[in-house]
Amino acid sequence: MGRFDGEGSFTREDFNRVLLAFEKQFGKPLPVSAQGETAVHRALGFDHRDRVDVGISPDTAEGLWLRHYLESGDIPYYAFRNSVKGKATGAHIHMGPPSNRLLKTD
């Protein structure tokens, strides 16, 4: 797992810029796998409001481009290369600050 703290915030305007830049770069929509709260995040005990998950492996050409774009915009992210028990169900890039824990899961 990799991370970049940036300035610590992630706004709707940031998200819209990422969407447009990705589509311009790759000619297709950003593969958003979760925008805000989902049943999976609730089951894991996370408050995922105002966060976005992108279904891209961080080491692919698209993932490397996205990570560089986020860093250049000072946007925080987490890059998961595979599943991590209690944190991630698979490879993806989480845009925004970390999700706060709602409840303890073990």
- Top-confidence residue, 61 or 82: 61
Residue 21's H or E segment, with its range, is helix 12-26
Please choose, from the candidates 25, 87, 101, the residue with its C-alpha nearest in 3D space to the C-alpha of residue 53. 87
For the entire predicted model, the pTM comes to 0.81
**CB of 66 closer than 8 Å to CB of 54:** yes
Gap between the terminal Cα atoms of the chain: 20
Model confidence over 24-69: pLDDT tens digits?
Answer: 999 999 999 877 676 665 666 676 567 898 999 999 999 999 999 9
Q: What are phi and psi of 105, to 5 degrees?
A: -125, 130
pLDDT (average), residues 3-28? 93
Query: Domain-by-domain residue ranges, the chain?
Result: 2-101
Residue keyed to tokens 């989480």? 94
Statement: residue 102 has pLDDT above 70: no
How many CB atoms lie under 10 A from the CB of residue 57? 16
